[in-house]
Structure 1
Amino acid sequence: MHEVVNTAQLKAWNGYEGTHWVHHQDRWNAINANFDLPLLDAAAIQDGDRVLDVGCGGGATTRLAAATAGRGSALGIDLSAPVLELARARTAGAGITNASFVQGDAQVHALDADTFDVAISRFGIMFFADPVAAFANIARALRPGGRIALLAAAEPAENEWLTALRSLDPLLPTGDFGTPGSPGMFSLADRDTAVSALTSAGFLHVQAECIRAYGIWGRNAAEAAAFLLCSGPGRHLLAGLGPGIQESVREVLTEQLRPYENAGALPLRSTGWLLTGTRGERTPSD
């Protein structure tokens, strides 16, 4: 693997987070799948296009991009070795031959310059230590006029899973977990911050459209609560608590989620910025 600057993310995604996503890949795809169509529509992938999928995870969007690109190709990049192993296995199992994967830190990875027609990401761009540097590196990998269609988590208050977690405040402080601008998944939740970062990185005509979609977090409230508490945010909140308090937290969260149960499924609304733009003739480092 080439240079890495996001070392904390490297450790997390090659440790518990990566293992969690491998074990729960189908669940995460069920949560995020309703964002796929808006993302691909915005990307406007054409037959023969070369697509870069940033923070590709298990490769679901990489495979969709490869299928749309036809005679073209899709390259997924991610920090997580275990997740990429799953992506490669599922891609081979699906008989897809024009999708490939590379382990790397997209902020600094030496991607071939002026190569890709479009870069996409389904919630894989919020964890960079320096978003402008990361977006500039992605811009250099695109040909002049190349397009971006990137999803970033938006509007913390509009995410029902976060509202449910915040119901735990009487038992444990959830703090500023959902504050835009803070490190983590809501780092680009402020629209102006996201647009400014992409513009500073050399993208033109940057637009941000708010997309809301429902995902299935479990079959019922108990299953969804257990999943939320074993995912990164929930696990962080439970760290250091005794078994008795953990069980109380689980019970409170289950009751908070119960009104969302619907015909054997528990859908929750999530929200994201769909960020689009084009690479200019020159990037900031030219």
Structure 2
Amino acid sequence: MRHATGDHTPGTSGYDAELQRHNEVLRRAAGVRLHDHVLDIGCGTGQTTRQAARRARAGSVLGVDVSEPALGRARELARAEGLRNVTFEQADAQAHRFQQERFDLVISRFGTMFFDDPVAAFANIGRALRPAGRLVMMVWQARERNAWDVAIRRSLGGAHGPAAGASEGPDPFSLGDPPAVQEILRASGFADVAFTGVHERVYYGPDVATALAWVRGFTCTGALLKGLDPAGAPRAVEKLRAVLAAHLGDDGVWFDSRAWIITARRAATERGVAG
């Protein structure tokens, strides 16, 4: 889901807080090494970028994102941590002219689902990898396997919610189907594509009011609310508030979710790669 980005302060909400459990899974899967040169796609405020930089102390990390405000915050945090091997650039990874064969590893935490042309995008990313370089990304599984999305839709659009993807723009579940993603990555010049299921909860805040404010900032929530009549929108928000309250525990508001860790390597040849 395309959310606003934020930093994780315990007891608050924000993108890093929401994905705190997913972040650890990605960190382990990425296995950043001391001398690695790493590219972080859709880095937001740079939590995953800085994390990689701390491990690649003899290498370097580049974080790219389309949001300049998020990157400004990422630079501030990197300076505060004294990280000298990390840089940030505003860039669309689908079209940006990365230095070819520069990186050993490309990582992404939910930053690759919104490309207009995924084959062209991953081919472009692949050219930035050294031969046999690794891709490790986390994406959402299918919409119906993510309780948070199901709950939002049912709250704001009835028993089944509005038609999937209706008037919402980019689809956060676009890489949720393994056979389709395998085809995309192979057409983009990647090999050894593998999927590992991730079953972790997402965190929306320490209380219902905080969680509601956070969820109302989701792109999909705004789109669904705009589609309701003036009388229906307040009722829908109250339904959503009730659903969030039902998921409130001693440690805050949590929802079940399902994701994939997708790994691949740049293929030895690039025949058939979209350019």
TM-score w.r.t. length of structure 1: 0.86
From 98, 114, 117, the counterpart of 1:111:
98
The 2-side partners of 1:171 and 1:156 are apart by: 15
The 2-side partners of 1:194 and 1:35 are apart by: 20
Contact 1:22 1:82 in 2 (8 A): no
Contact 2:6 2:15 in 1 (8 A): no
Q: Name the amino acid aligned to 2:199.
A: R
What do the CA deviations read for 1:74-102 (whole angstroms, capped 9, x no partner)? 10011111111111111111211111111
Q: Name the amino acid aligned to 1:189.
A: G
Moved more, 162-171 or 262-271: 162-171
1:75 correspondence with 2:59: no
Q: Give identity over the alignment, percent.
A: 35
From 11, 14, 21, the counterpart of 2:5:
21
Q: Name the amino acid aligned to 2:158.
A: P
Q: Name the amino acid aligned to 1:21.
A: T
Contact 2:154 2:160 in 1 (8 A): no
Instruction: Give the direction of change, closer, same or farther, for the CA distance of 1:285–1:266 in structure 2 (3 Å limit).
Output: closer
Contact 1:220 1:261 in 2 (8 A): yes
1:173 CA drift (Å): 4.8
Q: Name the amino acid aligned to 1:219.
A: P
1:243 CA drift (Å): 5.5
1:177 CA drift (Å): 3.0
Partner of 2:174, secondary structure, is coil
1:174 correspondence with 2:137: no
What do the CA deviations read for 1:256-282 (whole angstroms, capped 9, x no partner)? 222211104011122211110111223
1:242 CA drift (Å): 5.7
The 2-side partners of 1:115 and 1:226 are apart by: 41
Please give the residue correspondences for 1:93-132 in structure 2 after superposition, counting only pairs within 5 Å.
93-132=80-119
2:32 matched residue in structure 1 = 45
TM-score w.r.t. length of structure 2: 0.89
The 2-side partners of 1:152 and 1:189 are apart by: 7
User: Which structure 1 residue ranges, 5 or more long, are not aligned?
Assistant: 1-12
Answer 1 or 2: which has greater helix percent. 1
The 2-side partners of 1:152 and 1:215 are apart by: 13
Partner of 1:217, secondary structure, is strand
